[in-house]
Chains A and B, each alone.
Chain A
C-alpha cells in the first residue's frame, strides 16, 4: 500500500509539472525545431536566441516593467488602505461604524462583470483610460484585504492600545507603532497575494488600455499569439517571461502564501 501511494504521488506530480517544464524547455530551443518527445527536451542545442529576438521585436522590456511597477503600486496602496480601514473597523468605535463596514462589505456582493461596462465609462470620464492611474485605482478598494486584516486586528488585545493612549498617543501612533508591527505576518501574506493578483490580472488592463507602451505582460501574450501562429517557441518565451518571476516569488514566499490562502479559506 505504501508503495502504491508513493508511485501514485510521483505520477501525479509528474503529470502536473509536465506542462510548465515543457514551456520552460521549449522557450530555450531554437525556432522551428521539432520537440515532440521527452528525449528532445534533453538534447541540446539550447539557446536564448528567441528571447533576444522577442526583446528587439516587441516591447517586452517595457511590458515587464509595467507589470512590475503596477503590481508594486497596487500592493503598497492596497496594504495601506486595507490596514488603515481594517484597524479602524476593529479598534476605534464610533457612530455609524458598523454601517460603514457593511458599506465596504457590499463591495464583495457586487459582481465585477456587472460593473465592467460603466466602470469603463467612469474611467473614461475621469480621463484615466490608457494611464497607469487607470490600471491602479479601480483595483485598490479590496474588501477582501480589509476583512482579513480586520480579523487579525481583532486578535490584538485592547490593553496594549490603552497603555499607549495613557501616554497620550493618538490613533496614528497606535496604528504605526503597535498595530502594523504586530500584524506583520498577515500583511506579508496579503502583500504577496495582492502582488500576484495584480501581475496576473488581465481583464481590466485589457479593456482599459490600448496603448502598447502601457501593456502588462498578460496583455502582450495575445499579441504574440496572433503574429506567429506557426511556431510555438516565441509564445513559450513570452509565457516564460510572464510566469517565471511569479514562480520564483512563490518559491521564496511559499510558506506565507499557503498560510494566507488557507487562512482566508477557513475564515471566509
Chain B
C-alpha cells in the first residue's frame, strides 16, 4: 500500500500543475512580460502612438541632466525622514499600549483606523485640514499660540513636512501593531532578572526591549523605505503638478507625469528602472547590514 501506483502519481502531478498554473501565468503576463518590455523600452523613445525608436542611452543622459529628476529624488529622500520618526512614535505607543490600561482595545482601534482608510480619501481630508485660510489646523494654531500657521501645501518648505505628518498619522498605527506583537513575544523573565540586578527602567529598555525588538525594527525600516519610494497617491491629490516649485513630487509622481501626461513612455520606463534598481540596492544593503544589528533567536 505504501508505494503509490504510477497512475495515481501522474494524476496527482496533473492536479498540482493545474493548481499552480494561475499564479505562474499571472506572473508571466502581468510581471515578467512587462518587466522585460520595460527594460527594452528604457532604451527607446516611444509616445504610444507612433512605433518605438531605438535611442540608445539618450534617455539616461536626459535623466541625469534633468533638474526635475534630481528634485523628485531629493523629495523622496527627504520623505524618508518619516521612517525613523514613525518608528519612535509607534514603538512608544506600543509600549504604552502594552500596559494593563483600561480601554486599551479602543485606543488600538483609534490608532489603526487611519491605516486602513483609503489613501486618496485621507489625502483629500488632509488637504482641508491643512488649508491655509480655512484649515482647522491653522485655526488651532491661531487659537492656541496666537500666530498664523504655515502655508502647509503652498509653501515649498512646508509641503514635505506636511506629507510626513500625514504619513505618520496614517502609518504609525500599523507599525504599532507590529511592535505590540513584538513586545508580547519578549519573555518577562528577562525583565525579572534585570530587576534583580537592579537595572533601571531606562537600562531595561535599552538593553532588553530595544535589541529584542530588532527584527521588528528591521521589518519596519525595510517596508517604510520601500513604501516611501513608491508613494504617489498623496502627491497626486495634495501637490498638483508637483506642488510649488516641484517640491512635492516623488519619483513615482515624476514617472507618472512623464508617461501619462507627456507620453514619454520610453523615458518614463528608464526612470522606472532606475527607481527599481535603487529600491533593490537599498533593500539588499539593509539585508546585508542587518546581520550586524538584528537579533535572531
User: Bound pair: A and B?
Assistant: yes
Kindly list chain B residues whose C-beta atoms are within 8 Å of the C-beta of A165: 4
Kindly list chain A residues whose C-beta atoms are within 8 Å of the C-beta of B25: 141
CA distance A117 to B272 in the complex (A): 9
Contact A250 B276 (CB under 8 A): no
Secondary structure class of chain A's binding surface, majority of residues: helix
Known: A13-B111, A222-B236. A242 touches B128 (CB 8 A): no
Kindly list chain A residues whose C-beta atoms are within 8 Å of the C-beta of B117: 20, 200, 243, 246-247
Known: A16-B173, A81-B22, A202-B118. A23 touches B125 (CB 8 A): yes
CA distance A106 to B26 in the complex (A): 12
Question: What residues make up the interface of B, taking CB atoms closer than 8 Å to A?
Answer: 1, 4, 11-13, 15-16, 19-20, 22-27, 29-35, 37-38, 41, 48, 93, 96, 99, 101, 106-114, 116-121, 124-129, 131, 134, 136, 139, 143, 169, 172-174, 177-178, 180-182, 185, 215-216, 219, 230, 232-233, 236-237, 252, 255, 259-260, 265, 268-269, 272-273, 275-276, 279-280
Secondary structure class of chain B's binding surface, majority of residues: helix
CA distance A19 to B10 in the complex (A): 59
Contact A117 B101 (CB under 8 A): no
Complex interface bits, A139-172 against B, C-beta within 8 A gives 1, otherwise 0: 0110100100000000000000000011000111
Query: In chain A, residues 1-52, which have Cβ atoms closer than 8 Å to a Cβ of chain B?
Result: 5-6, 8-9, 12-13, 16-17, 19-20, 22-23, 35-37
User: Shortest distance in angstroms between B223's beta carbon and chain A's nearest beta carbon?
Assistant: 8
User: Shortest distance in angstroms between A211's beta carbon and chain B's nearest beta carbon?
Assistant: 16
Known: A104-B24, A246-B118, A258-B112. A19 touches B15 (CB 8 A): no
* Count of inter-chain pairs, beta carbons less than 8 A: 257
In chain A, what residue has the closest Cβ to B25?
Answer: A141
Contact A85 B125 (CB under 8 A): no
Kindly list chain B residues whose C-beta atoms are within 8 Å of the C-beta of A133: none
Contact B33 A16 (CB under 8 A): no
CA distance A115 to B36 in the complex (A): 9
Indicate which residue in B178, B230, B232, B272 contacts A265 across the interface (CB closer than 8 Å): B178
* B-contacting 9-mer, from A54-62, A183-191, A232-240: A232-240
Contact A265 B181 (CB under 8 A): yes
